[in-house]
Structure 1
Amino acid sequence: MQTDAAAPTGVAPAPSGGRRFRAYTTKHLDELTARAGLGDEERLATRAVATVLPFRVNAYVIEELIDWSAAPDDPIFRLTFPRPDMLPEADVNRISNLLRQGASRKELTAAANEVRAKLNPHPAGQMELNVPTLGNEDPVQGVQHKYPETVLFFPKQGQTCHAYCTYCFRWAQFVGEPDLRFASDEIDQLVAYLRAHPEVTSVLFTGGDPMIMGEGVISRYIEPLLEIDTLESIRIGTKALAYWPQRFVTDPDADETLRLFERVVDSGKNLAFMAHFSHPREMAPDLVQQAVRRIRNTGAVIRTQAPLIRTINDDSATWESMWRTHVRHGMVPYYMFVERDTGPQDYFAVPLAQAYEIFRGAYRSVSGLARTVRGPSMSATPGKVCVDGVTEVAGERVFVLRMLQARNPELVGIPFFAAYDENAAWLSDLRPALGADRFPFDP
């Protein structure tokens, strides 16, 4: 680590932030849930859920973010630890019995895979509809091209995270099943694809979490993109600021990582740091605030986003607090997402009508600087569908919807209507309103 005078951002590392990264996985789960006061049967059921869905947390989350006196109801505990009621009771009981009987890993994996198959592991057709090809019609591995101007890239070394969110719609990337993973280490293929498709102006590095990679690895992916003139922006989707801010302050390659960010900005491209913050407490530690300042001082723009998650952030005051804090620290509120139709959606989903009221309650209480945020938005198969309101048209109560992004760009920004349904939680739960027999995006 260089001295502060030589550091790329002029922000001193935090003296207390130098602890080495330590991950906790399912082998530590029984010990950690006992700390939360769970009894034997509830701990066993938690292990059963963790057999199906991924679990990983780290020392920073455990010691700095979770309020153990409030666990298991603490929102950060719920954000990172599986709960017995996240899956159907029959599935949890089945796997709990296998664990109780000392079943083999093969038996447990087979049972877990049967449950996973029912959880829609790849929503929005991401394994079939978005995979591009080069001129020889071979698929470009680890690349999704959902919208004309935007390509997503999944670097192979970035297919894990500093900690896993229990609501994560990309949970299938982390369960160790190769058929469910989507990734590549072929940066040359991506470069060739971008050169053949000059309409693509933005690349989003996602995963997993690209910031799990060291500077040397992530540079190998990003540096070649700086030579592509048609590329205007590089985005990095990450939760590292919330789960391991040391990555940008005290880790051995923190300064080198920030120099990489500076090189992206100096090349004339926008570096958009897409930071996932799910709860105001994630912004409380001084270390996070130092990391934010260091990243911003490279010229990168930090945009913040998160899903609306039941039991974690499903009230207006929480979102208002988050957006106000983000603006105070120079970040740009970007999206409130609707929990996707995958994994434990039934446990975490908030009905669209309630989601709109939560969004509106927070939106009307913040200044215009925070009203850059869009939502509540569903990242569905046709595109990003935003719930703009609930109103009455010709005597019928309806949702007012709008596409913020679409596979067909002609549909972007055009309002349309769905019949009001207080229980609807996803686009597939809605039906056209006002006598229409289809939505604009329907075939």
Structure 2
Amino acid sequence: MTTVTMPGSTEPTHYHAIGRSNLSELPEWQKLDAQLRHEIDIVARVLPFRTNRYVVENLIDWSRVPDDPIFQLVFPQRGMLSEADFDDVRTLVESADDSEALARAVDRIRRRLNPHPGGQLTHNTATLAGRPLPGVQHKYRETVVFFPAQGQTCHAYCTYCFRWAQFVGMQGMRIETRSTSDLVAYLRAHPEVTDVLITGGDPMIMATRTLRRYIEPLLAPELAHIQNIRIGTKSVAYWPHRFVSDADADDCLRLFEEVAAANRHLAIMGHYTHPVELKPALAREAIRRIRDTGAQIRMQAPLIRHVNDAPELWSELWRSGVRLGLIPYYMFIERDTGPRDYFSVPLVRAHEIFRRAAANVSGLARAAQGPTMSVLPGKIRILGVVARSELLDRQLPAVLHNGGGAMPSADPREQILVCDFLQARDARLNQTVFFAAFDPGATWLDQMRPAFGGERFAFEQAGDRDRTAPLHALTECLLD
């Protein structure tokens, strides 16, 4: 890769990963408290850790460490492991006499952290003529997700990443493929698919010549039903050189132009987690160059404690993004995997953060949808909180009340959480509304309960697709 020096920088712009093995090379690292360095080293034995010079020098305010949000975003923290797990790993590391015992302990901890949530390994894999297609997933009717093998790493890892299991070498946990022939055959057999999402890891870690091998087949005339090609990437924030000064940056942008010339829409799904990621001049130049190809950049991120759990940060992020031509897309809820307890925000608080953030931006920035959690049935959005009395006035259909009859007696001032499906595995649930009991501590679907009694929601009734009917009846009621 060609070495280029950007104006105002003394550092070459060729990519160089920084991980646990070479952290000592960082002058900033040596200035940290020894205890903090030791704790990071212990946690990094379990959770994936990688960063680079651009992140370290441009995005982290080292005077605020360890509370700096980007430091929290890329450097593992002690609280990401339980006290028992941390002590087990620390004891084995400090004894330094049984590497196999350490490996077993690390593997045991990782498998308790719910790798690959949401049915990624069990429900989403596409099949063709009864044969599973590794690296191809089809959860939603219109969208197929594709995992190219060479893109299953990143320029830097986010500590919250729900695909962390891709990066740690756990047996049977890596989703990937090197073949495009299976993908093309599957798409030919499924004309209802309009979108292909190329994901990872980060596809933009690949050289352009490799990326081209995966994108060009999607532009063939026989796949004209593929209208949108999406690339999920954090490179726009963690390594904008990819689009500006990398040796094949211009080739990459020419490939983007070819997608537009083939009458396809290219959507760069940019993972922007904090406003500071949009401030460097290099990051803004990358945005300009990408947009000049005809591609659009959508911005999305989870809401994560210690990093961006304040409405003013989201307002600033959306305002800055819109000014640069980005499209706010999703505020996600931190998924139920990895160090979720360290990062998770209660659903009620998540909605309040979203509401207050959206209330302080113009209509262009309100294109963002959220807060949304990706669960086995689909993408569930928290719409708001209402008093029970407001729903009583609606005279909801009896089918909502567990087989009919009167609504259970309760205080009409009781609060209820209103939710809907933005996307659903069962397409009949798309855009349908349901109600959950108000729980200020709930952070995920498995902690939520139906508002009107029962242990499970209608859409959770295994093997009984007709139980979705109450949701459709409810939607019709609310529209009357």
2:441 matches 1:423: yes
1:297-322 per-residue CA deviation (whole Å, 9 max, x = no partner) reads 10001000000000100000000000
Contact 1:26 1:50 in 2 (8 A): yes
2:106 matches 1:74: no
User: Amino acid of the residue matched to residue 355 of structure 2?
Assistant: R
TM-score of the aligned structures, taking structure 1 as reference length: 0.94
- Does the residue aligned with 2:145 lie in a helix, a strand or coil? strand
1:20-35 equivalences in 2 (<5 Å): 20-29=14-23, 35=29
1:378-419 per-residue CA deviation (whole Å, 9 max, x = no partner) reads 011100000000111231311100000000111111111000
Contact 2:23 2:29 in 1 (8 A): no
Distance in 1 between residues matched to 2:314 and 2:287, nearest whole Å: 19
Tell me the equivalent position of 2:429. 411
When structure 1 is superposed on structure 2, of 406-415 and 388-397 the one drifting more is 388-397
Contact 1:51 1:108 in 2 (8 A): no
Tell me the equivalent position of 1:186. 179
Tell me the equivalent position of 1:248. 243
Larger of the two Rg values belongs to structure: 2
Tell me the equivalent position of 1:7. none
Q: CA deviation at 1:352?
A: 0.4
2:252 matches 1:234: no
2:197 matches 1:204: yes
Q: CA deviation at 1:57?
A: 0.3
Tell me the equivalent position of 2:46. 52
Contact 1:44 1:96 in 2 (8 A): no
1:50-102 per-residue CA deviation (whole Å, 9 max, x = no partner) reads 11100000010111111111111111101100011111011111111111111
Q: CA deviation at 1:26?
A: 1.1
Distance in 2 between residues matched to 1:296 and 1:212, nearest whole Å: 19
Tell me the equivalent position of 1:277. 272
Contact 2:24 2:30 in 1 (8 A): no
1:198-241 per-residue CA deviation (whole Å, 9 max, x = no partner) reads 11110001110000001000000000000111111000000001
Tell me the equivalent position of 1:86. 80
Q: CA deviation at 1:36?
A: 7.0
Contact 1:141 1:186 in 2 (8 A): no
1:161-180 equivalences in 2 (<5 Å): 161-180=154-173
- In structure 2, stretches of 5+ residues that fail to align are 390-411, 462-480
- Does the residue aligned with 1:51 lie in a helix, a strand or coil? coil
Contact 2:118 2:374 in 1 (8 A): yes
User: 2:338 aligned to 335, 343, 360, which one?
Assistant: 343
User: 1:305 aligned to 300, 304, 307, which one?
Assistant: 300
1:324-375 per-residue CA deviation (whole Å, 9 max, x = no partner) reads 0000000000000000000000000000011001000100110000111000
1:250-291 per-residue CA deviation (whole Å, 9 max, x = no partner) reads 001001000100111111111010000001000010001000
User: 1:333 aligned to 328, 333, 358, which one?
Assistant: 328
Tell me the equivalent position of 1:10. none
Q: CA deviation at 1:31?
A: 6.2
- Does the residue aligned with 1:404 lie in a helix, a strand or coil? strand
Q: Rate the CA distance shift 1:100–1:282 in 2: closer, same or farther, 3 A.
A: same
Distance in 1 between residues matched to 2:231 and 2:241, nearest whole Å: 17
1:141-192 per-residue CA deviation (whole Å, 9 max, x = no partner) reads 1011000110100100000000000010100000022421111111111000
Q: Rate the CA distance shift 1:80–1:132 in 2: closer, same or farther, 3 A.
A: same
- Does the residue aligned with 1:289 lie in a helix, a strand or coil? helix
1:385-400 equivalences in 2 (<5 Å): 385-394=380-389, 395=412, 396-400=414-418
Distance in 2 between residues matched to 1:277 and 1:14, nearest whole Å: 23
Q: How many residues align?
A: 432
Tell me the equivalent position of 1:265. 260
Distance in 1 between residues matched to 2:377 and 2:95, nearest whole Å: 45
Q: CA deviation at 1:442?
A: 1.6
User: Amino acid of the residue matched to residue 211 of structure 2?
Assistant: I
Contact 1:231 1:269 in 2 (8 A): yes
Distance in 1 between residues matched to 2:30 and 2:304, nearest whole Å: 21
Distance in 2 between residues matched to 1:198 and 1:14, nearest whole Å: 46
TM-score of the aligned structures, taking structure 2 as reference length: 0.87
1:128-147 per-residue CA deviation (whole Å, 9 max, x = no partner) reads 10011111x11111011000
Tell me the equivalent position of 1:434. 452
2:232 matches 1:214: no
Tell me the equivalent position of 1:147. 140
Contact 1:248 1:258 in 2 (8 A): yes
Q: CA deviation at 1:104?
A: 4.1
User: Amino acid of the residue matched to residue 422 of structure 1?
Assistant: P
Higher RCO (Cα < 8 Å, 6 or more apart): 1
- In structure 1, stretches of 5+ residues that fail to align are 3-12
- List, as ranges, runs of 4+ consecutive aligned residues in structure 1 with deviation greater than 6 Å: none
Tell me the equivalent position of 2:55. 61
Contact 1:327 1:333 in 2 (8 A): yes
- Sequence identity of aligned pairs in percent? 53
Contact 1:145 1:152 in 2 (8 A): yes
